[in-house]
Structures are given as C-alpha cells and as structure tokens.
Amino acid sequence: MQLLKFVPIKLTLFLVFGILFGFYFTIPFISIAVITLVCLVFLGWIFVKQKLANATLFGAIAVCTTICIGTLAVALHNPKNSFNHYSKFPNTGTNKLHIKITEVLKSNNFSQRYYAEILSLNNIKTQGKIALIIPNDSTQTNVIIDQELLLYSEISEINAPLNPHEFDYKKYLESLGIYHQIYAKPNEFITLEKHNTTIYGIAADFRNTIIAHLREANFADDELGVIQALLLGERNDISEETYTNYKNAGAIHILAVSGLHIGILLLLLQFLLQPLENITNGKKIKLVLIVFLLWGFAFLAGLSASVVRAVTMFTFLAYAESLNRPANKFNVLALSMFFILLFKPSYLFHVGFQMSYLAVFAILWIYPMLQRFWFPKNKIIRYIWQLLSVSIAAQLGVLPLSLFYFHQFPGLFFITNLAVIPFLGFILVFGIIVIILALFNMLPKFIASIYNDVIQFMNDIIGWIAQQESFLLKSISFDSTMLVLSYFTIIFLVLALSKPTFKRVTIFLGGIIAFQIWLLIINYNTIRKQEIMVLHQSRNTGLLYQNGETLHLYSNNPNRLEKMVDVYATAEFTKTNLNHALKNSYDINHKQFYVMDSFAIHPPTEANISYILLTQSPKINLERLLDSIHPDIILADGSNYKSDVLYWKETCKKRKLPFHYTGEKGAYYFNLKD
C-alpha cells in the first residue's frame, strides 16, 4: 500500500514539518500569521475561481499553507507569546503569587511537586504555568487540582543539566510551557477556597473518591497501586520495586492508561455492542455509544494528556471501523494525529505520543502481513500467533525509539505479552465493575479478594520475568542517526518481505550497510577521544577520564556516581568502566592539577599548579593560598558548603581570577587534544 498517496497522510507530514520548523527557528508571530493568512486566501481563491484548473499550483499552495499552519500553531501555543504571560511583568524578587494547581506529580522522599497556573503576580492578572515544589512536612495537608494558593516566593530558573548527557529536565518542562519554578514551605502559603472548578478538577475529585472507596476495600498496597495505574491513570502510589519490575519485563505500558488500554476497550465495546447493528441506524448508535464510553473512561482516568491523546486517536479509528473500509484506517489515524497536533503541537516532542502512534501504525501495517504469511488452522495456535503478531508489529514500530530514549531492550517482551495481554481486557472490565460496586458501597469482600489475587498474580508473573536479568539488555548505545537509519531499514525490510523486488531489497541492504558504516565512524571517533571532566554531585567528588573506549572514574565514593557514569558511557559508546581512588595531584596536558580536600594540605610553593579543585569545604585562607601559588583557575565542586563557595567566588572576582563552580556552570572539561 502506497501510503503517501493518501491526502490526509501528506497533510499530516507537512504539518509535522511546519511544527518542527517553528520549534527550531524563531519566527515573529505577526510575520507567520500574515503569511498563513495570505496562503489561505490564495488557496481559497484558486479553489473557488480556478476550479482546480491548475492542480499543481493548488497542491503547491496547499503544501505551503499546511507548513505555515504548523509553524503558526507552535507560535500560538508558545506561552511567552501571550501578552499577559507572567514573564513580561516585573519580577520583584519575593513576589506575591496567586496560583492554581493544575496537576499533581509523583512525590519523592523530600518534596511534593505540582504544576500550577499563575493567576496573578504582585496583584497583576497574569497567566502561565509554573512548577511548584513543597518540601515534605508532617503538618502539611495535601494540595489537590484546582486548589488555589496565595504565597510570597521567588520565581527561580529551572536548572539545566550540570553533567554530560544527563536528562534535560529544563528542556522537558519547556516543552510543557513551563519555564520557572517556585519553592514554598507548608507554612508559607495560604490555601484558598476552590473557584472556577475545571473539568480536570472534577475528574480528579471523582478519581480521589474512587481511590478512597477502594482503600476501604482493604486491597494490599502493591495491588492497589497497580489498580490505580491500570484503571485511573494514577501511578503515584506504585512502589519503586513494582515499577522497576514492570519496566524490566517490558510491561511498563500496562501501567500507563494509554493506547493499549483504550484499544482493548474499543475491541471489547465493538464486540459487546455488535447486536445493535441489526436495528435501524444501529451502526450510528453503536458508534455514538462507543465514543461516549471511551471518553467516559478517559474522564475516569483523570483526563491526563496520554489518555486524551489515546481516546482521540481511537475515536477516529472507531469511526473508520464503522465505515468498514480498512484503507481508511491509515487516513483516519493521520487525521487524528493532524487535529491533535493542531491544538497541541508540543505533543510531537512527547515520547508517549511518538510511541503510541508508531505502535498503532505498525500494527495496522505489519499485523495483516504477518497474518497473510501464516494463518494456522488450529484455533488455539491461531490465537497465540495473532497475539504474537500484534506484539511483534508493535515492537518493530517502537523498538528504535525505545532504544533511543531508554537504551534497554527486554528480551522476554513476547512472554510478557502472551502472559498478560490476553487477560488485560478481563482485568480492565473486572476492575471497572469493582469500581462501580465500590462507589455504591456494594462491593462484596470476596469479589475484592478475588480481584486483589488476580492483580497479585499478574504482579508475580511480571516480577518473575523481570528477574531473568540475562534477557534484559541494558545500557545500549543508540544515537539519533542510528534511530533514523533503523526506521529506514525496518520500513524497507517490511516492504521487501511483503513484495520482494530488486529495488526494495537493494535499498534494505543499503540501509544495513549505512548503519554499519555509521557504527565504524562512531567507533573511530570514540577511540580518538581523550577528555577529563570534574563532575558535579552534592557531597561527593568525582573526576571522569575518557581514554578512548575506557572510562576511568577517580572518586572515594564511586557507588554514588555509578548511574551518572553509566549514562555517560552509554552516550559515548565506551566499553569499559574502571574505578580509582581519588588522589591529590594529577598531570593534565603537562600542567599540574591539585585537589585540596577537607585536610587542607597546601601544595609545595615551588610546584607549578595550574588548576586547583576545592572539595569538602577545606578550611583555608584562599587569598593567602593565591599569594603563594598562582593558579590559572580555581574549581569548586558540589561537595562544598555554598557559603564557602560564595566566599571563594568573591575572592577570585576581586583578583580577576577565573572561578568555576560546578553547581552553577556544570561539569568542567579539560580537552586533552589542546
């Protein structure tokens, strides 16, 4: 099937191009708005006056218009383009803020985290989202969605990653339209009465009511956490161990109410409502009921972004199914993507959005081919093969993306899918029944006990699969070029298998060769790379030396830096990690590098010290040290007290000596090729 012949698919691709263009290139809002308007007028004039006499011209203008619409959508949804965004008003340091909670995030051992809308800044009506962090306190009360708070606080920047290849949380929040954060202790804000309750607040209240009733049914903690994730999209109460088991077993998608759950519900609803097709206008009634029930489940799950995306996508697919024209499924999938991106262009950069659409597209495209390849006569074998086919198709669709973002591959994913997916529909339906009975205080203990045992059994299966660590491939190096080449190769592999031609096979083999060439280039660059860096970590010191494919970590507490080093090793395609005790003196580029720790042992005055790293807040008189030794730069890492760092910074500033604090400027690099 030549998908690019379909107009909706073409338009969606051009819209995506426009969004990418608008995201990576800053274009004045007025300019792109005027250009888009001109294109729309010209397109309308050709359509009405020319009667499509010049199809080529119409197509070219349609392409330009769609690209401009994508770019304009990015500009329209950029909060900073709003005339009353809080960033356009004076920031007085400690500001009077009136905020409204929009989302409750998973808490950690130190704080509660939320997203909030700034309703006013220093009594000036504003808008714009912000991250709110509240340190844990035994006296604090839970803050809920739509709750309004009044507080005095500083609006601070969100820190960029301080070490190489760390997750860029700042960039992630910017993709959500969040550019700043505020800290507030529980006794530093006033909780106001809820006003202007939104549908998200109503959904959150309803979900909290359900959770309260489920707690009364005496479900075990682990099982209740999984139930909340499966049915309500609430993952905040899942234990770290359970979450890790699902991730390592390749079943993390089960814990996120998204495409998988909505797709299963759609299939169940289509089956249960099949008799309606026998009455007048039965198909239309069936479609309306399916859409209503899907959006009802989305409301039940709190209307999170992933759920809304999934329900929107499957609403379009349900419509396509009602037409009984399979070719329309690709068109409708593209249309759902078009309208979602039109209203939320930032979704294009969300991992969940990318994986959902790639998985569904792969299933629609590859699954029928696998069924034509082999169609067992035995019903049991056929059912198992169908499950495997769906799993293989979906895995092919998301595999490169999964390797790019998560750098691991669960080798037993097919066992997970065979063991859990066939029963997930039953688990979802059973769970919905349990919720309805619990809401009306009619849930019998034996039904709650049975459902608890079902979830526990599923957790045990996932836990057993996760323990087979030899089948879990971790720390797989995979960059953006490999991502593109992988999808290119997979596409032509499927095309070559569906209809073998010399051209398709040649392109597929060319993709494999290109992938291998890129691996050789990476290996060549890795072998030649020589670099030393001072890492940043609170209450710890670490020097990382990359010598080709080998990493040397110098630290007295290497275990705390293990995760950071593994992330770096994966990104840099290194193969060996070695740990060494931290010494006081090193030779770098024929220059002396001296580490001064809490013992504050001064180096010999005759030593030619170029770099001094201050760690563990040594009790020194820095001015006297600089008088005896004349370094080129002073470094300070995260193991020092901030008060000491401020003193050293001011001292170096007076002497016009470069000062680098890793807590502000990030890791310090020595390029050994200089």
In a domain, 61, yes or no: yes
Asked if the model's pLDDT at residue 624 lies above 80, the reply is yes
> pLDDT tens-digit profile of 101-123?
998 888 877 888 999 999 999 88
Give the total number of structural domains in the chain: 5
Domain membership of residue 106 (yes or no) is: yes
Residue 168 above 70 pLDDT? Answer: yes
Whether pLDDT at 666 is above 80: yes
Per residue, the 3-state secondary structure of 129-148, as one string, reads EEEEEEECCCCCCCCCCCCE
Among 207, 222, 215, 214, which Cα is nearest to 453's? Answer: 222
**Measuring CA to CA, which residue among 628, 632, 629, 637 is closest to residue 664?**
637
Asked if 559 and 621 sit in the same domain, the reply is yes
Q: How far is CA 531 from CA 359, 614, 666, in A?
A: 39, 20, 15
In angstroms, the Cα distances linking 395 to 197, 366, 390, 405 are 41, 11, 8, 14
Residues 160, 53 share a domain: no
Question: Residue 590 has what pLDDT?
Answer: 84
How crowded is residue 532: how many other Cβ atoms within 10 Å of its Cβ? 20
My answer on whether 538 and 513 are in the same domain is no
Q: Give the largest Cα separation in the chain, rounded.
A: 99
Tell me which long-range contacts 488-496 makes (C-beta under 8 A, separation of at least 24): 488/514, 489/515, 490/396, 490/399, 490/400, 494/365, 494/366, 494/369, 494/396
> Which residues share a beta bridge with 391?
none
Q: What is the pLDDT of residues 119-152, one digit of tens each?
A: 999 889 999 999 999 888 755 667 888 889 999 9
Report the pLDDT value the prediction gives residue 50, as an integer from 0 to 100. Answer: 60
Q: What is the mean pLDDT of residues 184-203?
A: 81
Phi (first) and psi of residue 593, to 5 degrees: -115, 120
622 touches 647 (CB < 8 A): yes
**How long is the chain?**
674
Percent of the chain with pLDDT over 70: 96
The pLDDT, as a whole number, for residue 206 is: 85
Check pLDDT > 90 for residue 328: no
pLDDT in tens, 291-302: 898 888 888 777
CATH of the domain at 152: 2.40.50
Determine, yes or no, domain membership for 183.
Answer: yes
CB 211 within 8 A of CB 228: yes
Q: Residue 111: is it exposed, middle or buried by C-beta count within 10 angstroms (0-12/13-18/19+)?
A: middle
Task: For residues 305 and 477, give the distance between their C-alpha atoms in angstroms, rounded to a whole number.
Answer: 30
In terms of C-beta distances under 8 Å and separation of at least 24 residues, what long-range contacts does 314-319 make, across chains too? 314/259, 314/262, 314/263, 314/266, 315/291, 317/266, 317/360, 318/266, 318/270, 318/287, 318/290, 318/291, 318/294, 319/287
pLDDT at 674 over 50: no
Q: Which of 157-171, 182-196, 313-327, 505-519 has the lowest mean pLDDT?
A: 313-327
Tell whether 146 and 109 lie within a shared domain: yes
Please tell me the predicted confidence (pLDDT) of residue 517.
97
User: What are the pLDDT digits (tens) for 460-512?
Assistant: 998 898 888 788 888 899 999 999 999 999 999 999 988 889 999 999 999 99
Taking 60 as the threshold, does the pLDDT of residue 327 lie above it? no
- 558 and 582 Cβ atoms separated by less than 8 Å: no
Is 660 part of any domain?
yes
Residue 3's pLDDT is 63
Instruction: For residue 124, give both structure tokens.
Output: 């000036």
Same domain as 177, residue 110: yes
Q: Nearest to residue 633, comparing CAs of 664, 612, 663, 605?
A: 612
Average pLDDT over residues 34-57: 77
Specify if 38 maps to a domain: yes
Let me know: does 413 contact 250? Beta carbons within 8 Å.
yes
DSSP class of 444 = -
Domain annotation covers residue 597:
yes
Who has greater pLDDT, 671 or 284?
A: 284
Is the predicted pLDDT of residue 410 greater than 90, yes or no? no
Q: How far apart are CA 370 and CA 497, in angstroms?
A: 10
What is the per-residue pLDDT across 204-233, written as a single tens digit (0 to 9) for each?
888 888 888 888 888 888 888 888 888 887
Q: How far apart are CA 283 and CA 269, in angstroms?
A: 13
Q: What is the mean pLDDT of residues 47-61?
A: 70
Could you tell me what percent of the chain has a pLDDT over 90? Answer: 35
Residue spans of alpha helices (H) in 344-412: 351-373, 379-406
Range in 269-283, 325-339, 436-450, 471-485 the model is least confident about: 325-339
- As given in the structure block, the two tokens for residue 121 are 């800044």
Domain end (from 182, 197, 212): 197
Mean pLDDT for all residues in the chain: 87
Point out the domain boundary residue: 76, 95, 110. 76
Q: What is the pLDDT of residue 140?
A: 61
Question: Do both 40 and 15 map to the same domain?
Answer: yes
> Which residues lie closer than 8 Å to 37 by C-beta, 6 or more apart?
none
**Measuring CA to CA, how many Å separate 156 from each of 87, 162, 181, 599?**
11, 17, 5, 35
Residue 265: predicted pLDDT: 84
Same domain, 592 and 637: yes
Using the predicted structure, report yes or no on whether residue 339 has a pLDDT greater than 70. yes
Beta-carbon contacts of 27 under 8 Å, excluding residues fewer than 6 positions away, are 71, 75
Least confident of 12-16, 17-21, 45-49, 53-57: 53-57
Query: Does residue 661 lie in a domain region?
Result: yes
Residues 643, 641: Cα–Cα separation, whole Å = 5
CA distance 672 to 128: 45
Q: Is residue 390 scored above 90 in pLDDT? A: no
pLDDT at 173 over 80: yes
C-alpha span between 543 and 620 (Å, rounded): 22
524 and 553 part of one domain: no
Picking from 23, 52, 76, the residue at the C-terminal end of a domain is 76
CA distance 28 to 345: 17
| Higher pLDDT among residues 108 and 18, named by residue | 18
By DSSP bridging, strand 111-121 and strand 94-104 are: antiparallel
Cα 488 to Cα 507: distance, rounded to the nearest angstrom: 9
Based on the domain organization, do 134 and 163 belong to the same domain? yes
β-sheet bridge partners, residue 191: 149
Q: Write down the pTM of the prediction.
A: 0.87
Q: Check residue 325 and give its pLDDT.
A: 61
**Would you state the pLDDT for residue 199?**
85
* Full residue range of the structural domain in which residue 96 is found: 86-197
Which pLDDT score, from 0 to 100, does residue 54 have? Answer: 65
- 513 in the same domain as 606: no
pLDDT of residue 89: 86
Residues 19 and 60 in one domain: yes
What is the residue-wise DSSP string for 471-538? GEE-S----HHHHHHHHHHHHHHHHHHHS--HHHHHHHHHHHHHHHHHHHHHHHHHHH-EEEEE--BT
Residue 23 shares a structural domain with residue 122: no
Helix or strand or coil: residue 78? Answer: coil
- Does the residue 265 lie in any domain? yes
